[in-house]
Amino acid sequence: MFSSDCRPPLVLRLAFFLANILLSSCATSQVINSVSMLTDPEQTTNYPHVLNITGAGFASIGAPGTVIPLVVVPNTGVSGPTAVILSATGIEGRFTAPIDYRLSSVVLTPAGVPPITFAVPAATCSPNDIVSQYQIAPDSLAKDTFGNGLAKNFYVIQLSIINKCQSKVVIPIAGIRITPQWQTGNAYVTGPITTSPYGLDHVMAAYNTDRTSTGSRALMLNFMQAAATIGSAVQTFLAPGFTQGVAIFGGSFRNAVLEVSKDLSPQQLKSLASETFQTAEVIGTTANPGVQKFIFVPKKSVKLPNNQKQRIVAITSITLTWSVADNSTQTSQVQ
């Protein structure tokens, strides 16, 4: 006869109990949910890169303060990676790497359990990560830095950009959109809503023209040279005193003028090459000091085919279009 008690035998009940323990142990296995990285921009600490690793089940691989091996990817330029258990849900990783290091994945290899891995999502940048501002340089500063020709013909705008994102961003000069204020009275017409700054090639052409032909210094020296040339051609037909005057005018007097009116072209060309916004500027990551470059917007009046004219009288705003590798293009408003 069968017993009225339908409970499983004691051995089976013990087996079920042990199975539940094993299943609950598996359910609380170690897992990483997120990884964030803090970087010391001055690189003055022993571990300039610190990882904040959050997850679950870390208590089962060691007590707080336990040091476990850490592997970071990529590992080029990385030294001394290690990790310390803080709690059942937190681990702190530490390592040394270049200032612009970009973390791809993390692997913890504690003893007695399989490696714990986590792929870090690709860093993205938001418009708020690109901090920028601009100001129009005074004519006196623009003249000293880039020459009178550019100061006279262009608004020289200093553009400052800081990237707070963990990814480098690229800003092409074609991605700088300027909203100008146009002169409308006295037969002037309004131009396009936005315009772009001139590139270095256009600015260099305007600079060279001013230095060689249209600038006040160039006109004065060219006139003196022309007068000395004409005087040398006719001096044989005039009195000896005229010959001496031509020699003084074309020699000592011209040299004295050159001493008074110094040629600043080497310094100004150097400033143009190094301080002008290039075809594309790469803005470094969080610890990078940023970029401070000049852009140029024409301010002289332009005669149109219909005999009307356009002229920019002020800059209203500047908008930047920038991109991150493998991410979509975004825009930011310059403050």
pLDDT-derived band at 133 (thresholds 50, 70, 90) equals: very high
pLDDT tens digits, one per residue of 213-245: 665 655 565 666 666 666 666 666 565 665 656
Averaged pLDDT for residues 207-217:
68
Percent of the chain predicted with pLDDT > 90: 33
What pLDDT is attached to residue 158?
95
Mean pLDDT check: name the lowest of 179-193, 214-228, 282-296.
214-228
pLDDT-derived band at 185 (thresholds 50, 70, 90) equals: confident
What pLDDT is attached to residue 21?
44
pLDDT tens digits, one per residue of 16-75: 555 454 444 444 588 999 988 887 766 677 778 889 999 999 998 999 999 999 999 999
pLDDT tens digits, one per residue of 73-91: 999 889 989 999 999 999 9
What pLDDT is attached to residue 261?
57
DSSP result, 288-323: S--EEEEEEEE-S-EE-TTS-EE-EEEEEEEEEEEE
Averaged pLDDT for residues 306-327:
85
What pLDDT is attached to residue 98?
85
pLDDT-derived band at 323 (thresholds 50, 70, 90) equals: confident
Paired with 238 in beta bridges are none
- Residue 310 reports pLDDT greater than 70: yes
What pLDDT is attached to residue 125?
77
- Burial zone of 73 (CB within 10 Å; 0-12 exposed, 13-18 middle, 19+ buried): middle
- Residue 203 reports pLDDT greater than 90: no
Q: Is 182:303 a contact under the CB 8 Å cutoff?
A: no
Averaged pLDDT for residues 253-278:
70
Q: SS3 of 333, please?
A: strand
DSSP result, 251-272: IIIHHHHHHHS---HHHHHHHH
What pLDDT is attached to residue 250?
59
Q: SS3 of 184, please?
A: coil
Mean pLDDT check: name the lowest of 113-122, 200-209, 310-319.
200-209
**Distance linking the first and last C-alpha atoms of the chain:** 92
Mean pLDDT check: name the lowest of 134-143, 193-202, 251-260.
251-260
